[in-house]
Structure 1
Amino acid sequence: MLSGRILTPAGWIKGRIDFDQRIRQISEDQGADGRLTILPGFIDLHVHGAAGVDIMQGGGAGATVARAHAKHGTTAMLGTTMTATDNSIRRALNGLAPVIAARPAGGARMLGVHLEGPFLSIHRLGAQPADAVVMGSMDLVRSYHAIAPIRAMTLATEVDGHLDLIPQMNALGIRVQIGHSNGSYEDGVAALKAGAAGFTHLYNGMTGLNHYKPGIVGAALAHAEYAEIIPDLQHVDPGAIRAALRAIPRLYGVTDATSATGMPDGEYALGSQRVYKCVGCVRLATGSLAGSVLTMDQALRNFVGLGLDLADASHRLSLYPADYLGEMERGRLATGAWADMVVLNEELQPVAVFVEGEAIDLTAT
């Protein structure tokens, strides 16, 4: 049982939650401690690593990443790959498959894979290696999907042949996201009409907004229902975040976290690339941003710091990503939903986290 100020689908109540693996009852109790806030657990749909390990390493990396992020309130996530050689991608997927099939003790639920590449534009790579970019094919997608379930796919939809892949990916249950794209506004609109569902780390890795050439950013701001954004206040200026919040109804936050998350300054891996953590950000040797060290609890505090009320900030880190994937039993505190919860103190710091009813040890190393 937990008690405090609870964010329910109907709004805030002071009360208690009775649960085992699932929420059994939510009841009002005016005597509950209002200093504690209970939110749905965070759902991060773009995670590369943490605690010194990278998803692309395969093996037990996925379990380590799931445990590291759970301590920051993430209760469900997508393990996210990098553009890489075919063998490297298969190694990562084979490492993720058992973590997806069985949640590691003390860790977040791995809902599936976000395949970020290799079907990208060589003109908008960001930290993705150019030598591994390939043209997409459904045979390749199906072979990856057979190893581990792909739930989201980043695609440069303007590349010849890619637009035709979107309905076929949708038929497999894959949410196609426009990203690492050099496309025009018209290309973005065409992709949405073909069935693309969102945008990968909005503003980053795509053609920007210009009043003569609106670009992929313009297509997102004008037409998107859903889009990711990295609210670390380094990838996107606060003013641009506010513009996206006004334009995109279900803009949701992701971390794009790397192996440097939770680690001291130094050199780390991001797929085949070497990246460097310094002063709270991660960069390639060229100085370009390369993922982040953001955690979802800090994303919540950043959203609130930008002026969002706490319920709105919570929705953008729990409810909206859950709905985007069709996970209707996550991302909300309601009877019958999974008991995925984060308990926060008055400074919005996690003091307790529950994943499917399991209490996470926040002090574990």
Structure 2
Amino acid sequence: MTRISGRIVTPSAIVTGHLDIADGLITAITPDDTAGDDVIVPGFIDLHCHGGGGHTFTTGDPAAARGAAAFHRSHGTTTMLASLVSSPFELMRSATLAYKPLVDEGVLAGIHFEGPYLSATRCGAQNPAYLRDPVPAEITEVIKIGEGSVRMMTVAPELDGALAAISQLRDAGVLAAIGHTDASYEQVHAGVAAGATVATHLFNGMRPVHHREPGPIVGLLSSTATVELIADNIHLHPGALAFAAGTAGPARAVLITDAMDATGMPDGEYDLGGQAVVVADRVARLARDGAIAGSTLTMDVALRNAVAAGLPLQSAVAMSATTPARLLGLTDRGALEPGLRADVVLLDADLSLKQVFAA
């Protein structure tokens, strides 16, 4: 048995005491006022990540995917989706086949296709050469060959055929996300009505808010969709993060990294979906036009930034583990409760990482 002591953040309370682990499961939580000031939280669940530690998910290379997953696990992410960027269908297909064994093994929780069915007007760091309207046969094939490993796909709801594609994803049990969109408020709500349940990195890759045409940001916040928030203080001002999290609530907001391979690496030149990226002082930008190109964030830092922005610790923990677990239908993890998987992160009193336990 392993015992971890400190302030244990459970769904219902923060309990000072001891958390016991045996055979990969949480076996007991015992209150004890003398247990110390360390903070114990569930392992982080990242729905949106392109790589880290010098390794990328975007090329469909299983060895690189293992390296990226191991890097993020060392920062407390015990469950993650591998996010690809807009690419030719051949790469979508080969990556699905390459990553399915990693999903079966538990290295990855699934695949997220961020594109290629996105708005050219709001493509951000997506490669415009690969953007296209939804192709039902492509969606059908990657879902079929993935045999459950394709878990999410981001679509711009204003494209021709997008609403049908969103319903196709929903009916197949794949999370349909709305992102990289120039949609109107009404088009976003039509997307949610068709079955979309996630907003891909809210605010980023979207038309800004206007009071006479609220657009996608207000449309998504006012819907039932769960909103992704990149808590790196670069993609979002802390005030915008706190506003969105407060508006949606912790049951409808998730912290994500949107990290790329440069995460944890020195400043310099990198690649994202065949496009040159320059990283300087933690900020990744496309060489061609300076657009922000993913982040260099890890989930432990995202949690710390969210709390610094004014979110209650329990809310930030829900957004980094409990809510994404529910979205993915993972009932065996995402919280600190007896009987659940022992995915546990030990932080010090300042919320800096000390130790990670993965199952």
- TM class by shorter chain equals over 0.9
Q: Are the counterparts in 2 of residues 61 and 95 from structure 1 also a CA contact under 8 Å?
A: no
CA drift of 1:166 comes to 1.9
Alpha-carbon distance in 1 for matches of 2:260, 2:204: 16
Q: Are the counterparts in 1 of residues 196 and 225 from structure 2 also a CA contact under 8 Å?
A: no
CA drift of 1:49 comes to 0.6
Alpha-carbon distance in 2 for matches of 1:209, 1:340: 38
Counterparts of 1:15-164 in structure 2 under 5 Å?
A: 15-19=17-21, 20-32=23-35, 34-57=36-59, 58-103=61-106, 109-148=107-146, 149-164=149-164
Aligned pair 1:189/2:192, yes or no? no
Q: Are the counterparts in 2 of residues 281 and 289 from structure 1 also a CA contact under 8 Å?
A: yes
Q: Are the counterparts in 2 of residues 258 and 292 from structure 1 also a CA contact under 8 Å?
A: yes
SS at match of 2:219: helix
Instruction: Give 1:176's aligned amino acid.
Output: A
Q: Deviations over 1:291-315 (max 9, x none)?
A: 0000001101111111112111111
Alpha-carbon distance in 1 for matches of 2:48, 2:180: 14
Q: Are the counterparts in 2 of residues 56 and 91 from structure 1 also a CA contact under 8 Å?
A: no
Determine the structure 2 residue equivalent to 1:343: 346
Alpha-carbon distance in 2 for matches of 1:117, 1:225: 18
CA drift of 1:147 comes to 3.4
Alpha-carbon distance in 2 for matches of 1:147, 1:51: 29
Determine the structure 1 residue equivalent to 2:259: 257
Spell out structure 1 runs of 4+ moving beyond 3 A: none
Determine the structure 2 residue equivalent to 1:363: none
Instruction: Give 1:77's aligned amino acid.
Output: M
SS at match of 1:115: strand
Instruction: Give 2:335's aligned amino acid.
Output: R
CA drift of 1:145 comes to 1.9
Alpha-carbon distance in 2 for matches of 1:14, 1:68: 30
Q: Are the counterparts in 2 of residues 52 and 260 from structure 1 also a CA contact under 8 Å?
A: yes
Alpha-carbon distance in 2 for matches of 1:352, 1:246: 30
Q: Deviations over 1:126-179 (max 9, x none)?
A: 111111112213321121123331111100111111101222211211111110
Q: Could you tell me which of 283, 286, 289 is aligned with 2:285?
A: 283
SS at match of 2:265: coil
Determine the structure 1 residue equivalent to 2:336: 333
Alpha-carbon distance in 2 for matches of 1:252, 1:158: 24
Counterparts of 1:193-342 in structure 2 under 5 Å?
A: 193-249=193-249, 250-285=252-287, 286-342=289-345
Instruction: Give 1:23's aligned amino acid.
Output: I
Q: Deviations over 1:320-347 (max 9, x none)?
A: 1111222222110111111101000122
Q: Are the counterparts in 2 of residues 220 and 248 from structure 1 also a CA contact under 8 Å?
A: no
Q: Are the counterparts in 2 of residues 54 and 271 from structure 1 also a CA contact under 8 Å?
A: no
Alpha-carbon distance in 1 for matches of 2:261, 2:316: 25
Alpha-carbon distance in 2 for matches of 1:48, 1:189: 28
Alpha-carbon distance in 2 for matches of 1:94, 1:60: 13
Alpha-carbon distance in 2 for matches of 1:18, 1:70: 21
Q: Give aligned pairs, total.
A: 350
Q: Deviations over 1:242-271 (max 9, x none)?
A: 221222122111000000000000111212
- Where structure 1 has 5 or more consecutive residues not aligned to the other structure, the ranges are 104-108, 357-365
Alpha-carbon distance in 1 for matches of 2:158, 2:151: 21
Alpha-carbon distance in 2 for matches of 1:296, 1:280: 15
Q: Deviations over 1:178-232 (max 9, x none)?
A: 1011110000011111111021000011122100111001101222441101111
Q: Are the counterparts in 2 of residues 256 and 292 from structure 1 also a CA contact under 8 Å?
A: yes
Alpha-carbon distance in 2 for matches of 1:347, 1:28: 21
Q: Deviations over 1:16-46 (max 9, x none)?
A: 22222121222223332x2211100110000
Alpha-carbon distance in 2 for matches of 1:246, 1:352: 30
Determine the structure 2 residue equivalent to 1:360: none
Given the superposition, is the C-alpha separation of residues 267 and 74 from structure 1 closer, same or farther in structure 2, using an over 3 Å criterion? same
SS at match of 2:8: strand
Instruction: Give 2:276's aligned amino acid.
Output: R
RMSD between aligned alpha carbons? 1.4
Q: Are the counterparts in 1 of residues 221 and 227 from structure 2 also a CA contact under 8 Å?
A: no
Q: Deviations over 1:268-302 (max 9, x none)?
A: 12121121110111000121100000000110111
SS at match of 1:35: coil
Alpha-carbon distance in 2 for matches of 1:24, 1:55: 34
- Identity across matched positions, percent: 40
Alpha-carbon distance in 2 for matches of 1:171, 1:132: 26
- Where structure 2 has 5 or more consecutive residues not aligned to the other structure, the ranges are none
Determine the structure 2 residue equivalent to 1:8: 10
CA drift of 1:78 comes to 0.4
Alpha-carbon distance in 1 for matches of 2:118, 2:346: 39
SS at match of 1:56: coil
CA drift of 1:55 comes to 0.7
